[in-house]
Copies of this chain bind each other. A is one copy, B any other.
Amino acid sequence: MRTSVLFSGGKDSALSALLMEPFFEVELVTCSFGLLPNQELAAKTAKELGFPHRILSLKWEILEKAYEKIMNDGFPKYAINYIHEKAIETLASDPDVKFIADGTRRDDRVPVLSISQVRSIEDRLGIQYICPLKGYNRKTVSTLVERYLRIEEGPSESIPKADYEIELRELIRQRHGDEKIKELFPAHIQSHVLSRKELS
């Protein structure tokens, strides 16, 4: 059974892939609007982890709609959730894709689909959506990441990743400058996966 895991290069999506690996044939999928080349880094990380990887192009209009949302809202939550939903829908429209997974944890708030959004996607598009970390709290996830992955961490602007936020930030930077980004996105710590840890 093949599963497509939405992969940003971060620790949550990488750990999700590791947890599924014994039971599914895992491929990693990184989304792109074509605005930044960050998917290349995700491809490199996927190779380090030993998983097949591909880039999924998302329609530019999804990014424009997310841009409208964040500019209206003044905060990123609904814009990021919107991109996440559209990313899953885009992936689900591939007839070869039957299982889609991501790195959503128990305590996550963004990006998180509601149970009705999930059921709607599953019913409309005939896929099964899996969140392997949904039953794990932050502390247990950290324990597993510490055990199985080498990562680097830092403020979101300094860590190269391929999550939904990065291209939305870039669009806002191009149109409004760096100050606007600081205004809209709360500062937070991001992680980027380097490789698996050798188990002793």
Residues of A at the B interface (CB closer than 8 Å) are 1, 19, 22-23, 99, 104, 106, 115, 122, 128-137, 139-140, 143-144, 147-148
Contact = CB atoms under 8 A, between A and B. Distances in A.
Which 7 pairs show the lowest CB-CB distances between chains A and B? A134-B135, A131-B135, A134-B134, A128-B140, A22-B22, A132-B135, A130-B135
Contacts of A19: 19, 23
Contact of A99 (B115, B122, B140, B147): B140
A151 B148 CA distance: 33
A137 B22 CA distance: 19
Interface centre among A1, A134, A140 (most CB of B within 10 A): A140
A128 B135 contact: no
A198 to B, nearest CB: 16
Contacts of A115: 106
B140 A23 contact: no
Contacts of A144: 23
A106 B135 CA distance: 9
Nearest to A148: B23
Contact of A106 (B1, B133, B134, B137): B134
Nearest to A18: B23
